[in-house]
Amino acid sequence: MKYPKIRELKEAIVSLLTPAYTSKFPAEPHVPFEKFRGKPSVDDENCVGCETCANVCPSHAITFTDDKEKGIRTIIRDYGKCIFCGQCEEHCITKKGVILSDKIYDMAVFDRSKSIEYQEKELLICQSCNAIITTREHLHFMHRKLGPKAFSSILNLNILNQKLRLAEGQDVSVEIKDGLKRKDMFNIICPNCLRVILVKYLSKGV
């Protein structure tokens, strides 16, 4: 019994004289190691609201709600549910929309609602069937990626017309009623409605 007591005493003295291995958080901010994955940090300028990160997030920390009335998509990021897996960063289509920061690491909050972030993006909604096409920024991003090839799509051409104000005077908020006509292919319509027009009119050479 004598020797174990001496060993315990030695360990107590050594630990008294050795600096602590643990950090003093929250008294002092935690400094993570280099390349350590911290809180996902969103760059709204480079996020196009495409939904990809929500689809790959394993803990459902990222969700979306679409309000057709207001034409707004709200992206909700609840970092209280985040497990820092990095899937959102890895699969982000712009590669810059969200990055796991090694600087922002202090996420301790008393009120859980404070760990939730919101973003809003304008939706593109079909003027005929009211289906959600995507966000306007997502379509512009695809234009930039595809270059001139983007204009093989009539929807892309119509969006570009709006952007360049070539379609001035055309009210794109008007709902298409009384069935799709040939001229409606120059409105903002979803691929399903465009297909209906193409089958109905163009395939017959009308």
Q: Nearest residue to ligand SF4, using CB?
A: 97
| Pairwise CA distance, residues 82 & 122, whole Å | 26
Closest CB 145 distance from ligand SF4, rounded Å: 12
What residues numbered 32-91 form the site for ligand SF4, per CB under 6 A?
40, 47-53, 57, 59, 61-62, 82-88
What residues numbered 132-151 form the site for ligand SF4, per CB under 6 A?
none
Residue 22 is given by DSSP the state S
Place of tokens 């020797």: 3
Contacts (Cβ under 8 Å, ≥6 apart) of 81: 59, 60, 61
Closest CB 71 distance from ligand SF4, rounded Å: 17
What residues numbered 84-123 form the site for ligand SF4, per CB under 6 A?
84-88, 92-94, 97-98
The torsion region of residue 166 among left (phi > 0), alpha (psi -120 to 50) and beta comes to alpha
Closest CB 135 distance from ligand SF4, rounded Å: 9
Closer of 97 and 184 to ligand SF4 (Cβ): 97
Task: Give burial (CB, 10 Å; 0-12/13-18/19+) of 110.
Answer: exposed
Closest CB 121 distance from ligand SF4, rounded Å: 8
Numbers of helices and strands, H then E, in the chain: 6, 6
- Judged by the rule CB under 6 A, the positions of this chain that interact with ligand SF4 are 40, 47-53, 57, 59, 61-62, 82-88, 92-94, 97-98
